[in-house]
Amino acid sequence: MFKKTLLMFLLVTVLLFAYGCGEAEETVEVVTPVDIEDEELPKEIKAWIESSRDQFGGRARVHDGLLYILITYGEKPTGGYVVEIEEIKKQEETLVVTVEFTEPGEDEMVTQAITYPYDLAVVEETDLPVEFVATGDEDTVPVLD
């Protein structure tokens, strides 16, 4: 009986040890954007947005201790195109920005004017590189300088 109990104890110990030595989960933290109204944006950031809006891609810029993350959808022939930063996560070595792109449906009524959809998020400054993940009607987000 003692041998069975000892054997069972050793087996449970080995299993617990093996489970504990498995891959550690990557630490992920959701980053909450800083709330800044458009009229409060620094003039340098406003100029940066204006000069970027006709390009399709994502970029990031540090200004006064804040990291500005800009996603632009480029020039579009009509309204109905939407770009939205869905989530920002700080992983161990990267800041991951998930972006949803939406194109208007074929039967959707849209503004008949050229548009430049974009979204901007502002977070506390970090030295981590920014990675963009596209969802919705786009597969990738080109990284722009």
The residues with which 99 forms a beta bridge, in sequence order, are: 85, 134
Structural domain includes residue 15 = no
Structural domain includes residue 71 = yes
Domain residues for 93? 27-136
Structural domain includes residue 58 = yes
Quote the CA–CA distance of 52 and 72 in Å, as a whole number.
7
- pTM for the model: 0.79
Structural domain includes residue 112 = yes
Number of separate domains in the chain: 1
Structural domain includes residue 119 = yes
Structural domain includes residue 82 = yes
Residue type, 114: I
Tens digit of each residue's pLDDT (9 = 90 or more) over 50-104: 999 999 999 999 999 999 999 999 999 999 999 999 999 999 899 999 999 999 9
Q: Which is it for the CA torsion 9, 14, 17, 18, positive or negative? A: negative
Structural domain includes residue 7 = no
